[in-house]
Amino acid sequence: MLDSLRAKGSPPLVLELGDFMERDPHKGAVINPFLLDQMEREGVAAMIPGIFDLSHWPAFRELMAGRAIRMLSSDVRIQEGDSLVPIAARSLVVTRAEVRIGLLGVIGTEEFEQVTAEDGIVLEHQDPAVAIAELTPDLRECCDLVVVLACMTDKEAVEFAEQLQGVDALLGGHASIASDRPLRVGDVIVNRSGQRGQHLSTTRLILSPHNEIVDWGGFNFRLTKDVPGDPELLQRVEEIDREAAQARLRGLRGDASRERQRERSPRFLGESTCRTCHAEQARQWDTTRHAHAFATLRTKAKSNDPECLGCHVTGAGQPSGFLTEEATPDRVNVQCESCHGPGSEHARGDAAVQVKEQTCLVCHTSDWAPQWDVAAAWAEVRH
């Protein structure tokens, strides 16, 4: 279909509504790049991130790096350092057949609430209607059409379209039941593309010489087995499926091996466990700056900075060690095990690691603490 349109001199604008990624991480390592390669070959111009993409943002961003497909998100920002910045372009302008088309992309409020951001990732959602109202006037100045891509249910998409001003079309998808054809909601052409890639959703807009919509239509084709496919591509899909199954098997074996290794590794127990036997030493620790080391990061907005965490928490990057303040609140601060090592072996009867000057110098380096004096510091923490 796309090839026939191009052959007729009517180049289509191909868009993706996101959440295309394979959920299994081992299979995804094979399938996701293949899918993106095919999207690029088909000329996909832009896509918005969906719920799963935002929930796995670092992996999704890495997957999209260097691609010709442009990412679009008008209403989601991410925290970088002390600032919140857009996760992608808030608007895009593309041209087809000398028609300038402004693109906006949003995710519904209910859908964003389903996003479970990874540890250390902070995402903020703006009301989609507010975001569209902010961006539409500038696009109307330079574009002939304004189109919104929306990760929304059918009901949400229709209700959202009723609020829009200055928008010509809304393309929606998520937990969606594809309509046979687009429909008109107020002044907005709405098309719902279904879910799980089961439809090729097409929207056709007929413009006057003054770029006014004089007619519209389209059809959403269900991609059943009856739809003829490219034999070479179908063969490649079968190969990819086999490679993905093998990758999943290797990955599961590796996961099991790492889990066994993790179980055998010494484990951090937290200062509350140490305190049960070493109450006097724990009370002395309470009076030191080690006991409040994490607060220093909070005051400097560095509590998610991996370069700082290692010296202000216990066991960062190690099995059973610090992950995030929310996930492992009992591993914040420089606790007993930061210096004496994981406590599981000591709890079984082994001697704790003896602290030496070199132990301190791991964090108290000349770069970070040029005035640090080991003798004075030792007097403060000795117990």
Over the stretch 284-317, which tens digit does the pLDDT of each residue have? 999 999 999 999 888 887 887 777 888 999 988 7
Beta strand residue intervals within 65-144, DSSP E: 70-71, 76-80, 83-86, 91-96, 99-107, 123-125
Q: Is 244 helix (H, G, I), strand (E, B) or coil?
A: helix
**Quick one: tokens of 10?**
């009517």
Q: Quote the radius of gyration of the chain (alpha carbons, Å).
A: 28
What pLDDT score was predicted for residue 203? 82
What pLDDT score was predicted for residue 245? 87
Domains and CATH numbers, the chain: 2-227 (3.60.21.10), 268-381 (1.10.1130.10)
What pLDDT score was predicted for residue 4? 59
- Cα distances (Å, whole numbers) of residue 322 to 99, 205, 329, 330, 333: 53, 54, 8, 8, 10
The CB density around residue 254, as the number of other CB atoms within 10 Å, is: 11
Least Cα distance to 321 among 307, 306, 337 occurs for: 337
What pLDDT score was predicted for residue 179? 66
What pLDDT score was predicted for residue 177? 63
What pLDDT score was predicted for residue 138? 94
Residue 117 contacts residue 56 (beta carbons within 8 Å): no
What tens-digit pLDDT sequence spans the chain (383 residues)?
Answer: 555 555 555 678 888 888 888 888 888 899 999 999 999 988 899 999 999 999 999 999 999 999 999 999 999 999 988 889 999 999 999 998 888 999 999 999 989 999 998 888 999 999 999 999 999 999 999 999 999 999 988 788 888 888 889 999 998 877 656 567 788 888 888 888 766 666 677 788 888 888 788 888 877 777 677 777 778 888 888 898 889 888 888 887 877 776 666 666 788 899 999 998 999 999 999 999 999 999 988 888 788 777 788 899 998 878 788 888 877 889 999 999 999 888 888 877 777 778 888 888 888 887 777 888 888 888 888 87
Phi and psi angles of residue 382, each rounded to the nearest 5 degrees, phi first: -60, 135
349 backbone φψ class: left, alpha, beta (φ>0; ψ -120 to 50)? left
Least Cα distance to 17 among 103, 116, 132 occurs for: 103
CA–CA gap between residue 7 and residue 378 (Å, rounded) = 79
Percentage of the chain lying above the pLDDT 90 cut: 36
Residue 378 contacts residue 361 (beta carbons within 8 Å): no
